[in-house]
Chains A and B, each alone.
Chain A
Amino acid sequence: DAGVTQSPTHLIKTRGQQVTLRCSPKSGHDTVSWYQQALGQGPQFIFQYYEEEERQRGNFPDRFSGHQFPNYSSELNVNALLLGDSALYLCASSPGWGGMNTEAFFGQGTRLTVV
């Protein structure tokens, strides 16, 4: 089992550009969540997808959008990049929806640097 895989591992973009990050969940998992981890901070919840719909959203602007595909993989899109978007972006997957007792498995993240 490959676990949660994210691509790319590192990315450098210019301010104002758009970026797409990808995530494949752990086998058997159908819920995908995205988090932003700024340097020296804890991860901040961006949004969560289940059955190809956004189910929960954190306090992030509309520049952050996502998608989930029928095979449960997911993309995170960020438009009009700002320097402050530089961070480690983490994807987490879990089985099912609505269960507080389920464990979220994290990928190794994509390090985005905006210059």
Chain B
Amino acid sequence: GNSVTQMEGPVTLSEEAFLTINCTYTATGYPSLFWYVQYPGEGLQLLLKATKADDKESNKGFEATYRKETTSFHLEKGSVQVSDSAVYFCALAKGAGTALIFGKGTTLSVSS
């Protein structure tokens, strides 16, 4: 079946460090891929969305590229800030509707 695997955390970084959170997926065909962020006490916010292979998406300094050959959608940021501390979820959607399949989440903690 369809599934998402993302690196386990927590990830602890100093401010201005480089961030990578790995995400790989299992699905037939071409799912849409997403990164959502969840700040403490809040719901999920969409960070990035890619709908086809080789799409490179960016938002708020975060980037991810849809790699069909490696079934991956890794999240990167060149210089993290304390305000980036949150839980990051990789997800996919396939088929009619927008039912999302999420990974387990990666907690990022950034210290000044």
Which residues of A are at the interface with B, using a C-beta cutoff of 8 A?
4, 31, 33, 35, 40-45, 48, 50, 55-56, 58, 90, 92, 94, 97-109
Contact = CB atoms under 8 A, between A and B. Distances in A.
Given A48-B97, A90-B44, A109-B43, 7 more contacts: A31-B98, A42-B105, A92-B98, A98-B97, A100-B93, A106-B45, A108-B41
Interface residues of B, number: 27
Q: Is the interface of A mostly helix, strand, loop or mixed?
A: loop
Contacts of A108: 41-43
B35 interface: no
A55 B98 CA distance: 11
Contacts of B22: none
Nearest to B102: A42
Interface in B69-106: 89, 91, 93-105
Contacts of B44: 43, 90, 92, 106
Contacts of A42: 4, 89, 91, 102-105
B48 to A, nearest CB: 11
Contacts of A43: 44, 89, 100, 102
Contacts of B101: 45
19 contacts: A35-B100, A40-B104, A41-B104, A42-B89, A43-B44, A43-B89, A43-B102, A45-B99, A55-B96, A55-B97, A90-B44, A92-B100, A100-B32, A100-B94, A100-B98, A103-B49, A106-B36, A107-B43, A108-B43
